Structure 1
Amino acid sequence: MAANLLFSFDDLSRKDKAVRDVEKYFRRAGANPVSVDVDSRVKRTSGVSYREIGLTFSDSQVVKLRVKRPGDIFQVLLNRKVVPMANQDDHVKAIGEIVQAMDRGRTAFQKRLSRARVELPKRMKTAAPRMEKRLEAKRDALREAVDDARQQLAELRPVS
């Protein structure tokens, strides 16, 4: 028996039974969603009106389910890329496919995340320049203390 989810397009929210079921099926498949967001706006692509359900997982991967007006999922995006489904009629198997795709692409996704450069806001100042000056002053003071200790040691050694 195929397990199909039917979403209520007009009343789609985080509390919808189908949304909770999607979350439950992802957990069973081994991927725990950290947050689930339901977009309140109706969007349109290629002549299809849809609303999005976004699931964010602990490794920062994002799955977006696009639900069209009759209440079924017509497109799945994994990290902003469309994922084709072999088992589109059985949602539980389709969720299993999505989790497998997440597992396959996890290392590449993590590499992409690590290369992403994050710009600091212009108003935000870092403490690095002041910290560097403080550490340089501390280093110089330690060098002087070591030089003084060497001089005292040299004075205390008996001359042979």
Structure 2
Amino acid sequence: MAADLLFSFDELNRKDKAVKQLEKHFTRAGAAPVSVEVEPRIKRTSGVSYREVSLTFADSQVVKLRIKKPGDIFQVLLNKKVMPLRHQDDHPKAIGEIVKAMDSGRSAFQKRLAKAKVQLPKRMKTSAPRMEKRLEEKRDALKEAVEDARQQLAELKPDAA
């Protein structure tokens, strides 16, 4: 089963047979990836050269698999955190572990996403100040119209009395 997911390091791309099998295993485990990206650059950490395969799921959780030169997975990151696996040699069981960890940490991940503040780009401006100014002008115009109506009413009342 260990040879089940053996990646071709030099020719690793989105259409690789092992990447498609990886998607299939995640779908069978109950977490279908929305997008799969393969990093074209070779990275290096702790003396190990690797390439990354990123799987993004519907709830915005991201699983990154770091693949060494021989074509095997040497590290798994779940939402930017290194995840140790019990069943390293049995890929379907390892994927089941990853999906289970995703399910158990989903609510905490969603809370973290909700707390994250998104800043607007510097060039983008909101219409709130302009909208507020227009509404104030409209309010002032309505106040003037109400005051004019009261004056007209006051002028008509002494005539009626």
**AA of the residue aligned to 2:34:** V
- Max Rg structure: 2
**RMSD (Å) for aligned C-alpha atoms:** 2.5
Q: Does the CA contact (< 8 Å) of 1:65 and 1:73 recur in 2?
A: yes
**CA–CA separation in structure 1 for the residues paired with 2:119 and 2:61:** 21
Aligned residues: 159
Partner of 2:119: 119
| Greater share of helix | 2
Partners of 1:3 and 1:91 within 8 A in 2: no
Equivalent position SS for 2:30: coil
**SS of equivalent residue, structure 1 residue 117:** coil
- Residue in structure 2 matched with residue 47 of structure 1 by the alignment: 47
- Please give the secondary structure, in 1, of the residue aligned with 2:77: strand
Q: Which runs of 5+ in 1 are unaligned?
A: none
Q: Secondary structure of the equivalent of 2:55? A: strand
* Distance change >3 Å, CA 142–CA 34, structure 1 → 2: farther
Following superposition, the deviation at residue 135 of structure 1 comes to: 2.3
| Structure 1 residue identity aligned to 2:41 | R
Structure 2 unaligned segments of length 5 or more: list them. none
Amino acid at match of 1:46: S
Once residues 97 and 65 of structure 2 are traced to their aligned partners in structure 1, the CA distance between those partners, rounded to angstroms, is: 14
- Letter aligned with residue 85 of structure 1: L
In the aligned structure 2, how far is the partner of 1:92 from the partner of 1:149?
A: 78
Superposition map of 1:1-160 within 5 A: 4-142=4-142
* TM-score (norm. length: structure 2): 0.85
Q: In the alignment, residue 35 of structure 2 is paired with which amino acid?
A: S
Shift of 1:137: 2.9
CA deviations on 1:12-52 (whole Å, 9 max, x unpaired) are 00000100111111111121211111011111111211110
